[in-house]
Amino acid sequence: MGYQQTFRVWRGTDEGGDFAEYDVEVNEGEVVLDVIHRLQATQTPDLAVRWNCKAGKCGSCSAEINGRPRLLCMTRMSTLPQDSTVTVTPMRTFPVIRDLVTDVSFNYQKAREVRSFVPPEGVEPGEYRMQQIDVERSQEFRKCIECFLCQDTCHVIRDHEENKESFSGPRFLMRIAELDMHPLDAAEEQGVNRKAAAQDQHGLGFCNITKCCTDVCPENIKITDNALIPLKERVVDLKFDPIIRRRKRTRKS
């Protein structure tokens, strides 16, 4: 059974804007993106929204629904109260291009700063062998759809533009953790210390494990427990474990 609902949608650019209110039809089984599309089709054709798959897999339709970072295509209308207004806003951490579309290039910049996987010398692709437990560990992180909702929600940068230069955010710290845990990554042989880079260049120390990133991840990746905390432990080992430090000193001399 269809019903009418009031939608409050943020309209504007990075220069400024305001909320606009629309009464719109909602039908059984619809998600928020369906209603946004109905608004475009019937009332406001110039409303900007980014989307591609409508299946929770491309990570394009990230926005905030009633203040919570979510995918528009995976938020069922049946999970929102029928008797109150639904507020839809762009992701707050990134500059707005127009209406619900944000400029997420911050994330691409940070991605470029992470040294990619370094293949081990003398092992051809196809000859890589690793234990199943290690495969599973990186597979969890590889489920990431790059929606950047975790980046949007993390308080370190959400209201602190000034921290963006020094903090890469949970998505990219997770990527570093994945590579640091990878048994075949040969970065260290090329003088790249991923643990030191996480702490010194990517701002791991800013993360105070509030787990908000984990809470909003649509892929249910345990970002904090399985990536960030283990990475912090590795950094602590590197800096303070007397045996590791002694080994490093011995190698140098």
Does position 146 interact with ligand SF4 (CB under 6 A)? The reply is: yes
Name the residue nearer to ligand SF4 (CB basis): 111 or 238: 111
Which of 181, 217, 228, 235 forms a contact with ligand SF4 (CB under 6 A)? 217
Q: How far is the CB of 237 from ligand SF4 (least distance, A)?
A: 24
Name the residue nearer to ligand F3S (CB basis): 99 or 152: 152
Nearest to 92, CA basis, from 35, 30, 157: 157
Does position 110 interact with ligand SF4 (CB under 6 A)? The reply is: no
> Restricting to residues 148-187, which ones interact with ligand SF4 according to CB under 6 A?
148-150, 171
Widest pairwise Cα distance in the chain: 76
Does position 51 interact with ligand FES (CB under 6 A)? The reply is: yes
Q: What is the DSSP string of 79-139?
A: GS-TTSPEEEE--TTS-EEETTEE--HHHHHHHHHS----PPTT--TT-----HHHHHHHH
Three-class DSSP category at 140: helix
Does position 59 interact with ligand FES (CB under 6 A)? The reply is: yes
Does position 145 interact with ligand SF4 (CB under 6 A)? The reply is: yes
Does position 53 interact with ligand FES (CB under 6 A)? The reply is: yes
Name the residue nearer to ligand F3S (CB basis): 181 or 212: 212
Distance (Å, whole) CA 9 – CA 21: 6
Length of the chain: 253
Q: What is the 3-state secondary structure (H, E, C) of 147-185?
A: CCHHHHHCHHHHCCHHHCCCCCCHHHHHHHHHHHHCCCC
Q: How far is the CB of 182 from ligand F3S (least distance, A)?
A: 21
List interacting residues with ligand F3S (CB under 6 A): 154, 156, 170, 207-213, 224, 228
Q: How far is the CB of 211 from ligand F3S (least distance, A)?
A: 5
Contact pattern from residue 67 through residue 86 relative to ligand FES, giving x for each residue in contact according to CB under 6 A and a dash for the rest: ----x-x-------------
Q: How far is the CB of 149 from ligand FES (least distance, A)?
A: 10
- Pair 36, 88: CB distance under 8 Å: yes
